[in-house]
A = this chain, B = another copy of it.
Amino acid sequence: MKVGTADTATTVDAAGMRAQNSSLLLNMIWREQQLSRAEIARRTELSPSTVSAIVADLEHSGLVRNIGAGVSRGGRRPTLIGFCDDAFSIIGVEMGATHVTVVLTDLRGRVRAHRHSPHAVREDPKGTLQKVRELVQECLDAERVPRRSVLGMGVAVPSPVHPSTPGKLSPLIVPAWRDYDVQESLKSAFNMPVFVDNDANLGALSERYWGAGVGGEDLTYIKLGTGIGAGFIIHGDVYRGSGGTAGEISHIAVDPAGQQCVCGLRGCLVTLIGTGPLLERARELMGPRGRRAPTVRELVEGARSGEAAARQVIDSLGHYLGIAVAGLLNLLNPAIVVLGGEISSVGDLLLDPLRASVRKRALSTSMAETRIVTSALGDRAIAVGAATLVLQAALRDRSLFPLQHVRKTA
């Protein structure tokens, strides 16, 4: 949908010019929250008259509104224009390995309603889609949101997504979904635009809009969970690779002497730091206490309260992850690396050994400028990221906002 990269650009006529300038203003107002017409004119170098005309347009469509006067700079006080965060709602869906989460957000990523339900997503496509439909409907009903004020739906799936078939999941990773199309199914059920993407990609998007990467252009997100996935933001946009499998790092070999993996290699990242092996190792180390493996939450709490076994598991996680992250830094040189997934909530206990492991392996040049942090967005980050995918698309192309009937202003 980009315009302007000369190789792939679209032509521009008068209407296109207006669309482009209008989108630009909308984005600026969204970013800055409040802005006067005069200020916009100064920043964009558009003439004041043009700014007024476009703002009137945006106001008319309900996306921005007058929010009172600002402080004078020596003359008449400016009238501030604000973005209407609640002009539309967005639905975000996370289909995890074993659960479904649905959120209803406004245009600023704030969650207005949410539903969560455990479900065997990988094995049961039909039931999953049914569950999604239910939870979405519940969210809509709870906030009494009319269908026409919903921008669209974003869906995070635990599988790579091929750009040319966005609704299909990878038959190699989730074979049961072979005959289902997530996009078609939900689109026909709710009659609104549906966007589908990989969960790690949407975690990355979430961080870029609402987390540690706000305003940045390049960011890498790593999702720690049953599998290990990375998502890349490059030039402000999710990078998916030519076949949509960029960031599939579960099966990067970090220990040639390691255990055999189902994929055929030895010492894959997932066999060492996937949730399963991690909890199993914790069980072994905790020894006599019990034969039940702890949950991730218990592991985190154990580490926080100083349990040696838990600490040791986290340390080894940091160590192995560091090997992969070091390779990633040398290869991609992102400005920031964000760790997500429940276990990342241990914070520094993970970051310290991770950074040490990375420091031993990465070139000092790329290291020096890269920040490595844990996510602070919580367990709804991916679902919110899914909603953000819709927001991003709409902010780029204003025509994705449905036309609302004109509101009368008092």
Chain A residues with CB under 8 Å of chain B are 2-9, 11-14, 16-17, 20-21, 23-24, 27, 44-46, 160, 170, 172, 217-218, 230, 234-237, 239-249, 251-253, 255-256, 263-265, 323, 326-328, 330-335, 360-361, 363-366, 368-370, 395-397
19 A-B residue pairings within 8 Å (CB atoms) = A2-B2, A3-B4, A6-B27, A6-B397, A8-B236, A9-B20, A11-B44, A170-B365, A235-B237, A240-B333, A242-B334, A243-B368, A245-B365, A246-B331, A248-B333, A249-B330, A249-B331, A252-B327, A263-B363
**Beta-carbon contact of A332 and B241 below 8 Å:** yes
**Beta-carbon contact of B27 and A7 below 8 Å:** yes
Q: Within the complex, what minimum Cβ distance (angstroms) separates A360 from chain B?
A: 7
Q: Within the complex, what minimum Cβ distance (angstroms) separates A164 from chain B?
A: 11
**Beta-carbon contact of A333 and B245 below 8 Å:** yes
Q: Which residues of the partner chain B approach A327 to less than 8 Å between Cβ atoms?
A: 252, 327, 331
Q: Which residues of the partner chain B approach A234 to less than 8 Å between Cβ atoms?
A: 234-235, 239
Q: Within the complex, what minimum Cβ distance (angstroms) separates A109 from chain B?
A: 16
How far is A330 from B227 in the complex, measured between Cα atoms in Å? 14
Of B4, B7, B45, the residue contacting A4 (CB under 8 A) is B4
**Given A11-B46, A243-B365; 9 other pairs, CB 8 A cutoff:** A2-B2, A4-B4, A9-B24, A14-B17, A160-B365, A234-B234, A240-B333, A243-B335, A246-B331
Q: Which residues of the partner chain B approach A5 to less than 8 Å between Cβ atoms?
A: 2, 4, 235-237, 396
Q: Within the complex, what minimum Cβ distance (angstroms) separates A375 from chain B?
A: 19
Q: Which residues of the partner chain B approach A2 to less than 8 Å between Cβ atoms?
A: 2, 4-5
Residues A246 and B332 in contact in the complex (CB < 8 Å), given A6-B27, A241-B218, A366-B241: yes
Of B172, B236, B241, the residue contacting A333 (CB under 8 A) is B241
Residues A24 and B46 in contact in the complex (CB < 8 Å), given A218-B241, A330-B249: no
Q: Within the complex, what minimum Cβ distance (angstroms) separates A279 from chain B?
A: 24
How far is A116 from B6 in the complex, measured between Cα atoms in Å? 34
Most B CB within 10 A of own CB, among A11, A170, A263: A11
Of B16, B360, B363, the residue contacting A248 (CB under 8 A) is B363
Chain B, residue nearest A398 (CB): B6
Q: Which residues of the partner chain B approach A365 to less than 8 Å between Cβ atoms?
A: 160, 170, 172, 243, 245, 248
**Beta-carbon contact of B7 and A361 below 8 Å:** no
Chain B, residue nearest A26 (CB): B6
Chain B, residue nearest A329 (CB): B245
How far is A263 from B368 in the complex, measured between Cα atoms in Å? 15
**Beta-carbon contact of B11 and A248 below 8 Å:** no
**Beta-carbon contact of A230 and B331 below 8 Å:** yes
| CB-CB nearest 9 A-B residue pairs | A241-B333, A4-B4, A3-B4, A242-B335, A246-B333, A6-B396, A245-B366, A243-B369, A245-B333
